Amino acid sequence: MKQGFRQSMAWLHTWGGLVFTWLLFAIFLAGTLSFFREEISLWMQPELHRVAPEGGDGVAYALAELQQRGAGAKSWTISLPGPRDPVVEARWNKGKFDPKALVTLDPATGEVLAPRETRGGTFFRSFHFSLMQGVLGEWIVGIATMMMLVALITGIVIHKKIFKDFFTFRPEKSKPRAWLDAHNVTGVMALPFHLMITYTGLVTLMYVYMPAGIAVVYGSEEKSFFATLSSRQEAPQPQGTPAELTALEPLLAQARAHWNGAPPGSVLISNPGDAAVVVDIMRRRGASIAARIEPMLRFDGVTGRLLAEHDDDFAARNTYGVMYGLHVAWFAQPFLRGLLFAMGLMGCLMIASGAVIWTAKRREQHTAAYAAPGYRLVEALNVAGVAGLLLSFTVYFWANRLLPTDLPERIGWEQRCLFITWLLTLGYALLRGNFAKTWRELLWLAALLLFLIPLLNAASGGLPLWESMAQQRWPLAGFDLLSMAIASALAWAGWSIARPRQQRAPRRRVARPSTGVAVETSS
């Protein structure tokens, strides 16, 4: 090796990081928002805001609707209300998947609700792991995640003063220096989180990235691999003789007692109306850190007898469940969820500051050559990738409230508004010329729109902030409050990013290889 080990690692960190930085920022920000997926979805359906939480489980109402609308279906599913989702949902399956075969009810009154069509917070989750591009997107995200892992590990290697500079943040220093401090502080303080979330992120999609093991054991029967992973069971064949469904409440109570008080989350009724009816009750996710392998109890739907318990954990499934669970954090109570969100934002800051360091360093070093198109492209991608994305995500929330509810293909249009905004910011950043001003304009616009979110919410049918706070509806109030808090941070960032700094006397930079933190030496 011509260069030293640390220099090679610095090269890899700099250039590998640069190539993936904008994609990683988008993945990280969308993933961070996904911690609040259910809260975001609820906020994006103002028709549901006035459903009071803890209004019972609504199973009787759901069953009445299913008997009417879902007669002759192969199966019925009831999603029970929970602390993060106040409504009860009833679905029926008449043979092929139909997204319209769904009714949403107020569990306390049985009133049929008509929430607007939206993908809600689930958009961020899908975007996070597939960029809305299916398997191709999953591969792109996988490669970027691998690069993230490489960047984290090379980052540790090249950070010479990881303990000495643990608390060091010097915003008064020159720009590259201050950004490097910010990069280090957000990276090092939340390093356990960054490593955990990156690694478990790869594991959640391991069956996409490393299918060989599954192919060897299961061959072409890939389906049976997923069946082993999940606690869902095949339904028995219908007998053709009609039969009455047993009362569900005692079964739900029995399930809850079986799981030591952990509540059920959903009920699947297979062969409703037939003598071969079975009732599967799944535990609400989040009772354990392990996710995706929720225990299930199967009851005879006529007699109510317990037929089978599926809560056997075997080591491999449990390992996967814990890794998956750590990543999606369904187990997290509100306080911990907030901490995870904060650490996710620290990750976003780490990535964004890394991107900014690359340009700030070169702007300082090559003042004359800095007008080259390559630099301009990176600057423009930085602005659009960070400030533009923040603005686009904000526009998504606005589109959710402003697009007419009867618009055909409404879900598609909400997302199109986001992506069109993102493209426009990129075009603007490329054409505007003055990058510092572009940063400021986009950040301020995002801050303004985000700060007005509570007003938008109140004006477009949502539960206003003062009422949600008075009623202690924290999932809703939290959305409004967090929007304003993040808006304030963005406004401050926009103000400080383009602030002219006191010009210090130009220092001749002497090469001091042992003292500077080696992020980048060659260029």
Partner 1 sequence: MNVLAWGLAYSGLVLLCLAMGKHQRQMIGMEIAGVGRIGIRAAGVVLLLASFASAVAADGWQAGPVTWFGLLAVGGLLLAMLLPHAPRAGLKLAWISPPAILVALLLSG
Q: Which residues of 7-39 are buried (b: 16+ CB within 10 A; e: fewer)?
A: bebbbbbbebbbebbbbbbbbbbbbbbbbbbbb
Cβ at position 198, least distance to partner 1 in Å = 14
Cβ at position 452, least distance to partner 1 in Å = 27
> Do residues 299 and 306 lie in contact, with contact meaning Cβ atoms separated by under 8 Å?
yes
> Do residues 35 and 122 lie in contact, with contact meaning Cβ atoms separated by under 8 Å?
no
List binders of partner 1 among 91-120 (CB under 8 A).
none
Q: Which of 99, 100, 172, 503 binds partner 1 (CB under 8 A)?
A: 172
Select 252 or 346, whichever has its Cβ closest to partner 1.
346
Question: Which residues does 81 contact at the CB level (< 8 Å), separation at least 6?
Answer: 53, 55, 57, 58, 87, 88, 107
Select 260 or 367, whichever has its Cβ closest to partner 1.
260
Cβ at position 164, least distance to partner 1 in Å = 7
Q: Which of 3, 133, 168, 319 binds partner 1 (CB under 8 A)?
A: 168
If binding means CB under 8 A, how many residues of this protein chain bind partner 1?
27
Select 178 or 487, whichever has its Cβ closest to partner 1.
178
Question: Which residues does 273 contact at the CB level (< 8 Å), separation at least 6?
Answer: 71, 72, 242, 243, 245
Cβ at position 180, least distance to partner 1 in Å = 13
**Region of 166-174, 295-303, 370-378, 427-435 interacting with partner 1 (CB under 8 A):** 166-174
Q: Which of 171, 213, 412, 433 binds partner 1 (CB under 8 A)?
A: 171
What single letter denotes the amino acid at residue 326? Answer: L
The site map against partner 1 for 269-298 (x = CB under 8 A) is -------------------xx---------
Cβ at position 190, least distance to partner 1 in Å = 4
Whole-angstrom Cα distance, residue 241 to residue 399?
A: 50
Q: Which residue carries 């004006």 as its tokens?
A: 459
Select 148 or 197, whichever has its Cβ closest to partner 1.
197
Select 367 or 515, whichever has its Cβ closest to partner 1.
515
Whole-angstrom Cα distance, residue 186 to residue 188?
A: 6
Select 339 or 411, whichever has its Cβ closest to partner 1.
339
162 binds partner 1 (CB under 8 A): no
Select 350 or 463, whichever has its Cβ closest to partner 1.
350
Cβ at position 492, least distance to partner 1 in Å = 12
Packing angle, helices 5-34 and 122-130, rounded to 10: 150
466 binds partner 1 (CB under 8 A): no
Whole-angstrom Cα distance, residue 280 to residue 309?
A: 10
Spatial CA neighbour of 286 closest among 106, 474, 84: 84
Q: Which residue carries 């007003």 as its tokens?
A: 455
Whole-angstrom Cα distance, residue 457 to residue 142?
A: 36
> Do residues 102 and 11 lie in contact, with contact meaning Cβ atoms separated by under 8 Å?
no
Spatial CA neighbour of 265 closest among 247, 286, 245: 286
**Region of 111-119, 162-170, 245-253, 433-441 interacting with partner 1 (CB under 8 A):** 162-170
> Do residues 365 and 508 lie in contact, with contact meaning Cβ atoms separated by under 8 Å?
no
Within a 10 A sphere around the Cβ of 515, how many other Cβ atoms?
8
Select 58 or 344, whichever has its Cβ closest to partner 1.
344
Structure-block tokens of residue 164: 């000495």
Select 169 or 466, whichever has its Cβ closest to partner 1.
169
Cβ at position 344, least distance to partner 1 in Å = 10
3-state class of 308 per DSSP?
A: strand
3-state class of 520 per DSSP?
A: coil
The site map against partner 1 for 232-271 (x = CB under 8 A) is ----------------------------------------
Cβ at position 336, least distance to partner 1 in Å = 5
The site map against partner 1 for 180-209 (x = CB under 8 A) is -----xx--xx-xx----------------
Select 184 or 421, whichever has its Cβ closest to partner 1.
184
The site map against partner 1 for 314-343 (x = CB under 8 A) is ------------x----xxx-xx--xx-xx
Question: Which residues does 343 contact at the CB level (< 8 Å), separation at least 6?
Answer: 190, 193, 194
34 binds partner 1 (CB under 8 A): no
Q: Which residue carries 């219908």 as its tokens?
A: 238
List binders of partner 1 among 346-365 (CB under 8 A).
346
Q: Rule CB under 8 A: which residues touch partner 1?
A: 164, 166-172, 185-186, 189-190, 192-193, 288-289, 326, 331-333, 335-336, 339-340, 342-343, 346
